[in-house]
A and B are shown apart, each in its own frame.
Chain A
Amino acid sequence: LAKTTQPISMDSYEGQEVNITCSHNNIATNDYITWYQQFPSQGPRFIIQGYKTKVTNEVASLFIPADRKSSTLSLPRVSLSDTAVYYCLVGEGGSNYKLTFGKGTLLTVNP
């Protein structure tokens, strides 16, 4: 069972780049890494998903080193509206895979 570890909280300022790292030492070969964002009283929202190296979309980048034991979500030029909880999700492969969410990182963006 791949367990994930994220920082509990992070602080940043508007306009800065924010990097949130997730550790998943026991990631399996078939696992993908997915990041979600959640605001209070709302369901999580998909940000980005990757398997290895680097993935970029219009809102974020995901960096995964060769050993895949960690991943880093990069948010460029954050704004106040990016204040939210960010979850790292590792999906285990196999016929009976289980989804493992991290505890989440509360990112607070200050003016």
Chain B
Amino acid sequence: KAGVTQTPRYLIKTRGQQVTLSCSPISGHRSVSWYQQTPGQGLQFLFEYFSETQRNKGNFPGRFSGRQFSNSRSEMNVSTLELGDSALYLCASSLGGVYTEAFFGQGTRLTVV
């Protein structure tokens, strides 16, 4: 079956702009979680959505937001981009939530200039 698909794979934005990233989970998976990965901070949890509801949130400012649609597809939005937002953004889907096996996409590489 198809894996987790993230689009776009690469993105370059300017400071102050906003960006929307998309994640299509594995069919049948209702949980989608988002992570930020940087060389300095490593892998950090952003938030998790389950059946269109945000169920869990990490320690990120309100500029980072997300949503999940009825077909479980999810989008993540970052407003007022800062240089420090440059990172690899990973999406993962699972059947039952963050404690079950999560399947990750290949990520979106965001560069803020």
A41 CB → nearest B CB, Å: 7
Q: Which stretch, B42-50, B65-73, B74-82, touches the partner chain A?
A: B42-50
Give the distance in Å from the alpha carbon of A30 to the alpha carbon of B25 in the complex.
27
What residue of chain B has the Cβ atom nearest to residue A47's Cβ?
B101
Chain B residues packing against A (C-beta within 8 Å): 4, 33, 42-45, 56, 58-59, 90-92, 98-99, 101-107
Chain A residues packing against B (C-beta within 8 Å): 32, 34, 41-46, 49, 87, 91, 96-104
The answer on a CB contact under 8 Å between B4 and A43 is yes
The answer on a CB contact under 8 Å between A44 and B106 is no
Contact of A41 among B4, B98, B102, B106 (CB under 8 A): B106
- Given A98-B59, A99-B58, A43–B90 Cβ distance below 8 Å? yes
24 CB-based A-B contacts, threshold 8 Å: A42-B104, A42-B107, A43-B4, A43-B90, A43-B106, A43-B107, A44-B102, A44-B104, A46-B101, A46-B103, A87-B43, A91-B99, A96-B56, A98-B56, A99-B33, A99-B45, A99-B56, A99-B98, A101-B42, A101-B44, A101-B45, A102-B42, A104-B42, A104-B43
